[in-house]
Amino acid sequence: MYTSRALASFVLAWSVASPTIAAPDSLPAYGADPQQTSVSGLSSGAFMAVQLQVAYSRSIIGSGVVAGGPYYCAANNMAFAGVCMGQVPFFPPNPTLMVSAAKSFASARLIDPLRNLSARRVYVFSGTDDSVVRQPAVDATVSFFQQVGITQDNLKYVNKVPAGHAVITPSYGNLCSANASPYISRCDVESAGYDQAGALLQHIYGTLNPRVDTPTGQIVSFDQRAFAPETTGMADTGHLYVPQSCAASNAHCKVHVAIHGCMQSSESVGSQFYTDTGYNNWADNNNILVLYPQVNKSTTPFNPQGCWDWWGYTGGNYAKKSSSQMKAIVKMVSRLTQQP
């Protein structure tokens, strides 16, 4: 009988020679450091990253927000989605209202105390050519974080790159200005490829070892149903990048949760989000497990574009700690921090 550590090591060793591995019955435990969890995302994944950072500010130490609006912007009403995406001219989101809602939720202990946010590090990005989530919405996100106490040194806003709606890489994906699938684009800044994964991870964690050109760890696919029933709208299968160093016992790796955008799950773009966005290149040399939870298109709950819930399709508690999607992600992280 294998122990869970021996089994995880066996799977990893076997898969060195194979590009894919069979999905395990459950997400393995790796003894990761529970004090080193961060999150980032694009579009609806960015809205979700904001929700996780605010609701779970006690345990999430930093976040990367790429084309995402402020916390609780839609206020459980899909009719506000256009405003929250900056699509209504001369009517941007009002971050002060969102701060008021967050304070109310914190007072009722529905989310963690907002005072935790003063010690958190947040990276925010908005491309000047983004036609999906426009800059007025992202400006409101920055203002929200400022109003809840994130200091100037801890808050980085990148908003001059002529990028469309996408995760930005140094060399992979569409042209920089594209607003099209797979929502991964290559951009140059000051004559060099912009490495967004590295920029946000180093803003959160500080100076890291250099990225590797070819990651040597493995993708582990796992059953999400242990954490997320079908009513959450989440997919059957999630993915995890495991550096070789993190498969060793007592590695105490960090955990970064990378959350795809609408029409960007593996159902829509294959493996591109979890293999080609650059996170794994940085994780490989820096003892970081990268968790890639998944949401698919669905009619029940009504979610035809495979978006994370930032307006209430899973229920009115979608931005609180009782949110079914956020609880599922937090349970996945908790599993990674358990001792094997």
Q: Which two tokens stand for residue 224?
A: 């999400």
DSSP helix/strand/coil, 3: coil
Return d(Cα 56, Cα 98) in angstroms, integer. Answer: 16
Summarised one tens digit per residue, pLDDT across range 163-222 is 999 999 999 999 999 999 999 999 999 999 999 999 999 999 999 999 999 999 999 999
1, with CB counted inside 10 A (0-12, 13-18, 19+), is: exposed
Phi and psi, residue 101, nearest 5°: -65, -45
Is residue 24's pLDDT more than 90? no
Per mean pLDDT, which range of 12-21, 144-153, 222-231, 323-332 is the poorest?
12-21
- Would you please indicate which residues are annotated as catalytic (active-site) residues? 43, 130, 165
Determine the average pLDDT of the residues in 77-90. Answer: 96
Angle CA(226)–CA(232)–CA(238) in degrees, nearest 5? Answer: 50
User: What is the residue-wise DSSP string for 171-208?
Assistant: SSSB-TT---TT-EEE-EETTEE--HHHHHHHHHH-S-
Phi and psi, residue 122, nearest 5°: -130, 130
Q: What is the pLDDT of residue 274?
A: 98
- How many C-beta neighbours within 10 Å does residue 53 have? 27
Query: Residue 249: which pLDDT band, with cuts at 50, 70 and 90?
Result: low
Is residue 315's pLDDT more than 60? yes
Residue 141 contacts residue 70 (beta carbons within 8 Å) = yes
> Among all chains, which residue has been given the structure tokens 């200091």?
151
Residue 249 contacts residue 162 (beta carbons within 8 Å) = no
Q: What is the dihedral of CA 91, 82, 95, 321, to 10 degrees?
A: 170
Q: What is the pLDDT of residue 299?
A: 84
Distance of CA 48 to the CA centre of its chain: 7
Determine the average pLDDT of the residues in 309-330. Answer: 97
Share of the chain above pLDDT 70, in %: 93
Strand partners, 40: 64, 258
DSSP helix/strand/coil, 98: helix
Sign of the four-CA dihedral 76, 81, 86, 92: negative
Residue 65 Cα distances to 148, 194, 317, 320, angstroms:
16, 16, 21, 18
Determine the average pLDDT of the residues in 48-58. Answer: 98
